[in-house]
Structure 1
């Protein structure tokens, strides 16, 4: 047990060193170590950069400017360590300001957090290998402990720097994504879409839009989950919320041209939306042309309430009659182009047969009697209608789509614009 009696180092009693003696001795050793460190600061920084070049292949591939900034950070780190080591009573070193404050913010995009950890390890190795030469006699352990404490603070500060950069980047990306979704929906600022997409790393095509509701769910949580799920599927993704509506724009990782890829992508996301319909817009060739897909998906989301049994997700094209009745001019034109005009071009017998068939509760015999033809003739004409339009007149859903399309077509031919 060490005696608590104070001992005057000047009385010549060297039988037992008191606390004051040890403190003075440690301070003297520290001062000598500081002098050695100050003389070796440049050499340590140079040695650290040289070790990085020899051990870190990614460092050798960096541009000369970025390597220069990394070297400056290393030199600043050594200088800040020496300054902190001089006065041990200062507490935790202000790493972020003294070290990382020298580098531009863009460096966090050139050097990843994992690479930063690699660099810290290299610097530690360099200093540890020179502890015997850098420390004054008896000060090796003192210096080593200080180095370990300092590098721990550097590691924590590195994580903080990257976390702040990621948070700022995430907030900026979210605002830009919301701007893109709004521009696509309203058809304005489209000239800026390629540039904005490039800023987000957008590269994949074709592009589809998926729209759904929040239904009281946390908006930010839903958006984060949608983005993460889409990216795990290999897709590019942009997501934005507008009130209780969420719109996701997806650049498909692959597409066979048969619609299966977009349905698979939408099915993977459907469970992340709130309750209610989820609508998939038609494919677009690129982000610049994706406005039509976004508008179709949002229009389908508004109109889907009229088809309670719609699948989830449902294609916006499958909601054309509901969208047309709800006031979507594009859906009206689409129905006329896809159904009415092909039927009219095939001749009046098909249109007449369809009209009579729908008016007589889909009865073959009644339709045949009204048209004075054989029921087999009616069957043949109905099969031709299905071939031309893709909808079966005998099917409940198909007959509804056909009836709406023929009605709109006739209104158009009487001079009433479809866009009314």
Structure 2
């Protein structure tokens, strides 16, 4: 079926086929760029060339039809290649321009002190309601190709609505602004990152939902802080929620208190043979596995008896045992504090 295309394109194609000089062909790609700018499909552009070639061939003397047909086909081949080159180059340039504008808008949107007046008109274009509630998702995506980021953006927009998500790649970080109250975006984002990146090379953090422009920057800061804490604490969970990590800023807020807790509760472990680290690792894995000795032994690649022995040694040295409900919380908090401080190897700033 013939594609629909404007008369100006057919006329321009007909003129091209009448002129086959090298100088002219060097300028032919401009027609392809014009077609792309007019939002015509590449199929419609090629169809216009074919129609012009057919009309030109039909107008030739039947006696010379064969000779003229070969010449027209040769010219058509050159012209089509040049036109499509201009078409695709223009489309790539336009896509790059749109992505640059989108990235700049997101940068301004998430700035610490955004200018509402400057953002208002641009926000309408992306369906962002500046006074509404939004959640910001930050994903560490080292090695994610830009094309994959565009694909993720398209998938999220198709599933949740173009006005409900806004995704862009900034350095090695994928930022997604989500309309407040919208569920399922982190899981969908994780699913697509899993298809584009190897396991362990990406991690997603979800900030809390806040209102207004200032809330966007706050939600982004929370998401990034969650990724930072995951690095310091060794959390490998693919999707982190800032709301689940609120205890850690509380711990860090009173540095002297957490330092005192760590050294008082865990300090005696430094006197054990081999130092404190094996016992800290055992406690950390035990808490991650909700007190399951068998799972802890499997993850540490030791026997269950070895886990029991280490816990008994911890009890003997510190006076605390994770099997005691009143002591479990203190031990767990001290272990997390040790991770935050980099204890016993040193103190993280």
TM-score bin, normalised by smaller chain:
0.5 to 0.7
In 2, are the aligned partners of 1:197 and 1:287 still within 8 Å (CA)?
no
Question: Corresponding residue for 2:140?
Answer: 213
Which digits, 9 at most, give the CA deviation of each residue in 1:135-190, with x for residues without a partner?
23531112212222222223222321222112212322332233233223323445
In 2, are the aligned partners of 1:237 and 1:250 still within 8 Å (CA)?
yes
Query: Which blocks of at least 5 consecutive residues in structure 1 are unaligned?
Result: 1-51, 60-69, 85-89, 328-359, 368-392, 402-420
Secondary structure of the corresponding residue to residue 238 of structure 2: coil
**Offset, 1:78:** 2.1
Secondary structure of the corresponding residue to residue 278 of structure 1: strand
- CA change 1:228–1:294 in 2 (3 A) is same
Q: 2 CA distance for matches of 1:288 and 1:145?
A: 67
Instruction: Give the CA RMSD over aligned residues.
Output: 4.4
Which digits, 9 at most, give the CA deviation of each residue in 1:84-139, with x for residues without a partner?
3xxxxx4x5734625745x98485242121221232333334334xx2xx223531
**Offset, 1:284:** 6.1
Matched, 1:265 2:188: yes
Query: Which blocks of at least 5 consecutive residues in structure 2 are unaligned?
Result: 160-164, 254-319, 338-349
Which digits, 9 at most, give the CA deviation of each residue in 1:309-331, with x for residues without a partner?
3521111222223345567xxxx
**Offset, 1:231:** 1.8
**Offset, 1:228:** 1.0
Question: Corresponding residue for 1:177?
Answer: 102
Question: Corresponding residue for 1:311?
Answer: 237
Q: 2 CA distance for matches of 1:123 and 1:151?
A: 9
**Offset, 1:278:** 2.4
Question: Corresponding residue for 1:151?
Answer: 76
- CA change 1:114–1:251 in 2 (3 A) is farther
Matched, 1:119 2:55: no
- Name the TM-score, length of structure 2 as normaliser: 0.57
- CA change 1:95–1:395 in 2 (3 A) is farther
- CA change 1:364–1:209 in 2 (3 A) is same
Question: Corresponding residue for 2:175?
Answer: 248
- CA change 1:111–1:288 in 2 (3 A) is farther
Taking the TM superposition and a 5 Å limit, the aligned residue runs for 1:12-411 are 56=3, 58-59=4-5, 70-84=6-20, 90=21, 94-95=24-25, 97-98=27-28, 100=30, 105=34, 108-128=37-57, 131=58, 134-136=59-61, 138-191=63-116, 192-193=118-119, 195-196=121-122, 208-215=135-142, 217=143, 221-233=144-156, 234=158, 236-242=165-171, 245-251=172-178, 257=181, 259=183, 261-271=184-194, 272=196, 275=201, 277-283=203-209, 290-309=216-235, 311-323=237-249
- CA change 1:150–1:182 in 2 (3 A) is same
In 1, are the aligned partners of 2:203 and 2:238 still within 8 Å (CA)?
yes
In 1, are the aligned partners of 2:134 and 2:177 still within 8 Å (CA)?
yes
Which protein is bigger by CA-based radius of gyration? Answer: 1
